[in-house]
Structure 1
Amino acid sequence: MVRNTHSSLVHSQLQPTVAKRLTDIKWKVEYTQHSGHASDLAREFVNEGYHIVVAVGGDGTISQVVHGYMLADGCAKGCAIGILSTGTGGDFVRTTKTPKDPLKALDVILGTESSLVDVGHVTCTKLDTPSATSEQYYINICSVGISGAIIKRVESSSIAKFLSGGLVYWIYTYLTGVTYRPPRIKCTLSSGATDADNTKEQEMDLYIMAVANAQYFGGNMHIAPKADIADGKAS
């Protein structure tokens, strides 16, 4: 299990119950220590031969675990991902209908059924430094612009743990929107990876752009109601 140190799920009274359910299974819990650590831990778990990497946290933790899992080629190594959702937003599990109750979610993880889902991959390059690139795998929704600024404020918020996820996101959406200045970007759009004739580039001041694999983001914003995580398409 890769657990976000700030997640609220595995309280002390729940740990003995979880441990009892996992008596006959080799398992361990590692706590994240810094941003990006969940990705590193997921890679380690895959490379150590674990059959399931469980993300214990919210959408950020899930995203990082998926990134590390993909970098380690987890699917080819016979490893799966499980989710115990405890975060502020809980957007991805709204699409998958993963139980919010931790013990029910654990039943799903320990069950015999699994599903193949799509994973997106994005590469970013700075306009003024073409050699400076970064990549990210994602399973929910990839967005750039004001959404990133909002998430940074939510993650550093001292009030998030006292309020519902949706309310926290709406508060910081408003506060960020007052001062946000959109960056200049260059966007390349194509109808297909090999369809050069239908490719076009455009520079713009970007407020927000989202590519949806799943349906929700931003604390229950239902922006892609027709998105299907297993249809091979993005919305």
Structure 2
Amino acid sequence: MIAAIVNPRAADRRAERRWPELRPQMEAVLGALEVYQTTAPGHAIELTRKALGQGARTVIAVGGDGTVSEVVNGFFDGTQPVAAGVVLGIIPLGTGSDLCRTLGLPLEERAALEVIRRGATRRIDLESARFETLEGRPGQRLGVNITSFGMGGLVAARANRASKWLGGKALFQWTTLRTALTFRGNTVRLRLDGRELPPVKITNVAVGNAQFHGAGMWACPRAVVDDGLLDVTVFRYLSLLEIVGAFPRLYNGKIYEHPKVEFHRARRVEATAEEPAYLEVDGEPVGRLPLEITVLPQALTVCVPA
């Protein structure tokens, strides 16, 4: 049984507009689908678990990075798989589709469908993040792409509320600059595999399983999705003008050449802050520091180009 988890609201309802034409194309290639449509944030987690309970072993996320992330979280109860032998397929209909960039997945729907039909797969790592929710309770979330904190948590919250008519790249650039006008930095303490770093005032810290976020921002260009490690990019505090000046390096893979950017690698990342510091997981604003991230090695099987 193949299930499709469809987020009709993805990319200003692009998925809703495309689905009537896309569904028969998918069924012509893959056979009958069990289709589940989301109606609210977090709903894809619930629907994925329902599909697995009904026997689905291939689950296709139709939407953006947020939809993919929720489907992945539906594969697990905490950090334990809900079912064995489950495979993730992706039809990218979102604003950013950043995970696809790392995995080399095509962004065109028919080509993405062909990847699923051919059946080649890759086992990749996941991040397991524990943090404080915005309501002050303990929270846990799995991430497949990048977790970031500092200005990134604020940018994600604003971007998710904004209209997507500008397109992904322009939206995240505009939201980043708008947020930078008033953001004064966070002073954080990082502990990497138990080794504590000196306190540092940051604009953002990106902890990457994959390489991209923010619709093409190349925050963790050295990340490998199946190496059992987290790539940690520390952006020390940057003024608005310094952020504008850093944009070219952030998109061309040369961000580590910037004098205020540091690179680290670890299996466990812990972070605390002296003031409220907000975080996002796979583009979803979920809470604030303190934060602990560990690796779940090769915990997810995903369809990739052969």
Q: Give the TM-score category using the shorter length.
A: 0.7 to 0.9
1:95-145 deviation line (CA, Å, top 9, x unaligned): 00111111221121122321100001010137x96xx21001001011122
Give the SS at the match of 2:41: coil
Q: Give the aligned partner of residue 22 of structure 1.
A: 30
Counterpart of 1:134, as a letter, is G
Q: Which residue of 1 aligns with 2:93?
A: 86
SS of match in other structure, 2:170: helix
Equivalent residue, structure 1, for 2:219 = 223
Alignment of 1:118 onto 2:120: no
Cα gap change, 1:225 to 1:205, in 2 (>3 Å): closer
Residue 248 of structure 2 is matched in structure 1 by none
Q: Distance in 2 between matches of 1:142 and 1:232?
A: 16
Instruction: Output the CA distance in 2 between the equivalents of 1:225 and 1:86.
Output: 23
Q: Does the residue aligned with 1:122 lie in a helix, a strand or coil?
A: strand
Q: What is the identity, as a one-letter code, of the residue corresponding to 1:153?
A: R
Distance 1:30 1:76, change over 3 A: closer
Equivalence for 1:156: 161
Query: Are 1:13 and 2:13 counterparts?
Result: no
Equivalent position to 1:38, from 40, 44, 49: 44
Over 3 Å counting, the alpha-carbon distance change for 1:122 and 1:182 in structure 2 is same
Q: Going by fraction, where is strand more abundant, 1 or 2?
A: 2
Contact 1:147 1:218 in 2 (8 A): no
Question: Which amino acid letter does the alignment assign opposite residue 17 of structure 1?
Answer: Q
Structure 2 partner of 1:195: none
Task: For CA contacts below 8 A with separation 6 or more, give which structure has more relative contact order.
Answer: 2
2:59 is the counterpart of 1:57: no
Q: Deviations over 1:11-49 (max 9, x none)?
A: 4333322232233x4x22212111111111122222222
Any gaps of 5 or more consecutive residues in structure 1? 192-197
Partner of 1:208: 204
**Alignment size in residue pairs:** 222
SS at structure 2 position matched to 1:104: helix
TM-score, length basis structure 1: 0.83
> Letter of the aligned partner of 2:178 in structure 1?
L
For 1:224 and 1:204, locate their aligned partners in 2 and report how far apart those are by CA, in whole Å.
19
Give SS of 2:181's match. Answer: helix
Aligned match of 1:172: 175
Aligned-partner Cα distance in 2 for 1:114–1:216: 21
TM-superposed CA distance for 1:183, in Å, is 5.7
> Which deviates more from structure 2 when the two are superposed, residues 91-100 or residues 36-45?
36-45
Please list every run of 5 or more consecutive structure 2 residues that lacks an aligned counterpart in the other structure: 232-306
| Contact kept? 1:188, 1:200, Cα under 8 Å | yes
Deviation at 1:188, TM superposition (A): 5.2
Two-structure CA RMSD over aligned residues (Å): 2.6
Distance in 2 between the 1:95 and 1:114 partners?
A: 14
CA distance in 2, matches of 1:169, 1:80: 30
| Residue pair 2:206, 2:219 contacting (<8 A) in 1 also | no
- Code of the aligned partner of 1:20: A
Q: Partners in 2 of 1:82 and 1:46 — Cα distance?
A: 14
Distance 1:173 1:56, change over 3 A: same
Q: Tell me if structure 2 keeps the 8 A contact 1:166–1:220.
A: yes
Note closer, same or farther for the CA distance 1:181–1:61 as it changes in structure 2 (3 Å cut). Answer: farther
In the superposition, the TM-score normalised over structure 2's length comes to 0.65
For the 8 Å contact 1:145–1:206, the answer to whether it is kept is yes
C-alpha contact 1:2 1:56 (8 A) present in aligned 2: yes
Give distance in 2, aligned partners of 1:122 and 1:108: 30
1:54/1:84 contact within 8 Å kept: yes
SS at match of 1:63: helix
Which stretch shifts more, 112-121 or 147-156? 147-156
SS at match of 2:121: coil
SS state of the match for residue 60, structure 2?
strand
Cα distance change on mapping 1:14 and 1:76 into 2, 3 Å: closer
Question: Given the alignment, which residue of 99, 106, 115 partners 1:99?
Answer: 106
Contact 1:84 1:102 in 2 (8 A): yes
